[in-house]
Amino acid sequence: MLDPSATPNSPIEAQPTIGLIGMGAMGRMYATYLSEGGWKKIHVCDIPSKYEEIKAEYAGVPGITVLPDGHRVSRTSDFIVYSVEAEYIDRVVAEYGPSTKVGAIVSAQTSVKAPERAAFEKHLPEDVYIVSCHSLHGPTVSPHGQPLVLIKHRAPDWALTLVENIFLPFRSRHVYMSYDEHDLVTANTQAVTHAAFLSMGTAWASAKEYPWENTPYVGGIENVKVNIMLRIYSNKWHVYAGLAILNPSARVQIAQYARSATELFKLMLAADEKALRERVYKAREKVFSADYGGANAHNGRVPSPGARTPILLSEDTLDKFSLAAPPSPGSSRPRSPKAKANSHLSLLAMVDCWAHLGINPFLHLELAATPIFRMWIGVAEYLFRSRARLDAALNAALYDVTHRSDDLEFVVAARGWAQCVAFGSFELYKDRFGETAGFFRARFEDAVRVGSAMIQAIMESSPSL
Ligand SMILES: NC(=O)C1=CN([C@@H]2O[C@H](COP(=O)(O)OP(=O)(O)OC[C@H]3O[C@@H](n4cnc5c(N)ncnc54)[C@H](OP(=O)(O)O)[C@@H]3O)[C@@H](O)[C@H]2O)C=CC1
Ligand SMILES: O=C(O)C(=O)Cc1ccc(O)cc1
């Protein structure tokens, strides 16, 4: 093992060679920003069979050299980032890790860190350092201003400084965590949020319903739900499967989400107004009151939700980000009919789940929120901040039976996703994901475009976030 105290200053030259193993969506995004940021020696590879194709694609791109495989990248690079499927990280590090250049710094983009850490500790030589990373956003979101988690696991200070400098072109906000903290935070934020959106998508697909065509629900925060659901289903299934199945904390959160949805739905079926109101108000108090002190609240550093500007824009502004067909020339689209309240089971269950698990979403919002998690809190606070809106949802949930079939589909979907994650089956996850994604595929292109514009507008409207 290198002695960090013996190497107080970086022995690596001013233009380090940066290695990227895995040139999928994230590897490519890293290559683009590092190249545009002026780094001159970026060695990249994907699996050997894609060598010629990637070489042709990157011919002439400043700074980038495509190599045939991870051995060549590992042997020649001072800083290496693996951006491969979480499910394969052990296999890939086992193969290329032993080729790592002496004294290099090794990192990975994996969304769940437990298997990555195990792979690094098992397969990397002792004379290399580990400073890992995780960009908390998808490949189509600009990294500017987004959180970039940095994990100094086995390294001297200069190595962390070097990694920070290499990533400067991203203009991301660096967030420092340990491997364990990372997995707990991302279980609380990403995994359970994705479970909610995956369930919405599966419920709509099972009901053979395109939600943007279902007029009672179209517009406002419903646009946020639909756009984000589609954004998730248009991404790679393995990203969501990995961070849910391989993160032990995530199972607990996802199971609680399904339990919350089921229990609330049973109260709705029984028309037990008293119990439902008590439970939902209690959750609201716990999650949204200023003096909330849940298990994850850190020394009173929790910002008061009442003191913050709400995350979401007005409903009128959100109406613009719709996937519904544009009005024909000369006619104006009627204002979205919002008179019909939605039972909002997916949101009631989310706040109930946060309350049960002692998760303070606002603390995560400050430190390490992905854009999707940010939107989701925004939707939840939109409903829960207003007693009138919340009561309208509860009345709809209890007494408007037209919501029952959608709510039933949602509960079945949430339970199915939770069971799939609990079983730890990548195959089942892939099949479930693919089936729902197939139902929505035709709208992915539009959804990514409209969703990116919506995320951008929401970010710009709340500069403090
Ligand atoms: N997409 C996202 O929103 C985010 C993803 N992440 C994480 O980043 C990592 C990569 O995700 P993403 O880029 O989206 O996924 P992709 O599937 O787009 O990219 C992964 C790439 O790694 C390649 N690969 C697999 N094995 C090897 C190997 N032995 N040598 C070289 N390349 C290999 C894959 O090839 P093949 O396809 O042939 O298997 C693929 O091209 C994942 O761990 C994910 O959790 C992190 C933040 C955001
Ligand atoms: O914002 C989200 O939650 C996304 O879905 C995009 C995403 C996916 C995986 C990550 O590790 C980080 C971000």
Asked if residue 99 is part of any domain, the answer here is yes
What is the rounded distance in angstroms from the CA atom of residue 129 to the CA atom of residue 16? Answer: 15
Compute the distance from residue 149 Cα to the ligand 1 centre, in Å: 18
Pocket around ligand 1 at a 6 A CB cut-off: 21-27, 45-47, 70, 83-86, 88, 92, 109-111, 135, 138-139, 235-236, 239, 242
Q: Are residue 375 and residue 454 in the same domain, yes or no?
A: yes
**Residue 134 Cα: closest atom of ligand 2:** 11
Q: Which of 246, 248, 12 is nearest to 115 (CA)?
A: 246
Cβ proximity of 351 and 283 under 8 Å = yes
Q: Which residue has the tokens 């949430």?
A: 414
Q: What pLDDT, on a 0 to 100 scale, did the predictor assign at position 295?
A: 41
Amino acid type, 328 = S
Compute the distance from residue 222 Cα to the ligand 1 centre, in Å: 31
Please indicate whether residue 187, judged by its CB atom, sits closer than 6 Å to ligand 2: no
Asked if residue 389 is part of any domain, the answer here is yes
Asked if residue 156 is part of any domain, the answer here is yes
Could you tell me the two tokens for 142? 């600009």
- Per-residue pLDDT of 451-462, as tens digits, reads 888 877 777 776
- Minimum-distance ligand to the CA of 242? 1
Q: Are residue 194 and residue 149 in the same domain, yes or no?
A: no
Compute the distance from residue 89 Cα to the ligand 1 centre, in Å: 10
Could you tell me the two tokens for 201? 């998508």
Helical H runs in 46-136?
51-57, 70-76, 89-96, 113-123
Q: Are residue 201 and residue 248 in the same domain, yes or no?
A: yes
Residue ending a domain, among 142, 176, 210, is 176
Q: Which of 148, 103, 112 is nearest to 4 (CA)?
A: 103
Residue ending a domain, among 148, 176, 204, is 176
Compute the distance from residue 91 Cα to the ligand 1 centre, in Å: 13
Please indicate whether residue 111, judged by its CB atom, sits closer than 6 Å to ligand 2: yes
Q: Which of 161, 95, 156, 104 is nearest to 127 (CA)?
A: 104
What is the pairing mode between strands 129-135 and 147-154?
A: antiparallel
- What is the dihedral sign for C-alpha 108, 114, 117, 118? negative
Could you tell me the two tokens for 240? 């969501």
Looking at the 3D structure of the chain, how many domains does it have? 2
Q: Are residue 188 and residue 167 in the same domain, yes or no?
A: no
Asked if residue 254 is part of any domain, the answer here is yes
Q: Which residue has the tokens 């104006």?
A: 332
**Residue 239 Cα: closest atom of ligand 1:** 45
Q: Which of 49, 167, 67 is nearest to 107 (CA)?
A: 167
Q: Are residue 160 and residue 262 in the same domain, yes or no?
A: no
**pLDDT under 50 in the chain at which residues?**
1-8, 291-303, 305, 328, 330-337, 464-465
Asked if residue 283 is part of any domain, the answer here is yes
Amino acid type, 40 = K
Instruction: Kindly list the distances between the CA atom of residue 128 and the CA atoms of 100, 180, 335, 373, in Å, as whole numbers in the listed order.
Output: 7, 21, 60, 35
Asked if residue 5 is part of any domain, the answer here is no
Q: What is the CATH number of the domain that holds 157?
A: 3.40.50.720
What is the rounded distance in angstroms from the CA atom of residue 430 to the CA atom of residue 394? Answer: 35
Residue ending a domain, among 160, 176, 192, is 176
Atom 5 (ligand 2) nearest CA: 232
User: Which of 110, 136, 238, 458 has the most ligand 2 atoms within 8 A of CB, as the residue to mutate?
Assistant: 136
Q: Are residue 172 and residue 224 in the same domain, yes or no?
A: no
Q: Which of 349, 343, 370, 426 is nearest to 228 (CA)?
A: 370
- Per-residue pLDDT of 409-437, as tens digits, reads 999 999 999 999 999 999 999 999 999 99
Please indicate whether residue 221, judged by its CB atom, sits closer than 6 Å to ligand 2: no
Q: What pLDDT, on a 0 to 100 scale, did the predictor assign at position 443?
A: 86
CA 382 to chain centre: 20
Query: Residue 19: which region, alpha, beta or left (left: phi > 0; alpha: psi -120 to 50)?
Result: beta
Torsion angle (degrees, nearest 10) of CA 359, 364, 368, 372: 80
Compute the distance from residue 236 Cα to the ligand 1 centre, in Å: 9
pTM of the model: 0.91
**Residue 109 Cα: closest atom of ligand 2:** 11
Our separate counts of H helices and E strands in the chain read: 20, 8
**Residue 29 Cα: closest atom of ligand 1:** 13
Q: Which of 45, 114, 48, 119 is nearest to 75 (CA)?
A: 45
Q: Are residue 254 and residue 380 in the same domain, yes or no?
A: yes
Dump strand ranges (E) for 26-104.
42-45, 64-66, 79-82
Atom 14 (ligand 1) nearest CA: 25
Q: Are residue 45 and residue 152 in the same domain, yes or no?
A: yes
What is the rounded distance in angstroms from the CA atom of residue 186 to the CA atom of residue 292? Answer: 21
Q: Are residue 73 and residue 204 in the same domain, yes or no?
A: no
Query: Residue 279: which region, alpha, beta or left (left: phi > 0; alpha: psi -120 to 50)?
Result: alpha
Q: Which of 129, 125, 61 is nearest to 93 (CA)?
A: 125
pLDDT > 90: percent of the chain: 71
Q: Which of 391, 148, 397, 389 is nearest to 261 (CA)?
A: 397
Asked if residue 2 is part of any domain, the answer here is no
Q: Are residue 172 and residue 187 in the same domain, yes or no?
A: no
Q: Are residue 149 and residue 194 in the same domain, yes or no?
A: no
ipTM of the complex: 0.99
Q: What pLDDT, on a 0 to 100 scale, did the predictor assign at position 298?
A: 40
- Minimum-distance ligand to the CA of 29? 1
Other CB atoms within a 10 A radius of the CB of residue 434 amount to 12
Cβ proximity of 247 and 183 under 8 Å = yes
Could you tell me the two tokens for 226? 């639909």
Asked if residue 430 is part of any domain, the answer here is yes
Structural domain harbouring 265: 183-461
User: Which of 190, 197, 232 has the most ligand 2 atoms within 8 A of CB, as the residue to mutate?
Assistant: 190
Please indicate whether residue 138, judged by its CB atom, sits closer than 6 Å to ligand 2: yes
Q: Which of 154, 164, 115 is nearest to 131 (CA)?
A: 154
Q: Are residue 391 and residue 288 in the same domain, yes or no?
A: yes
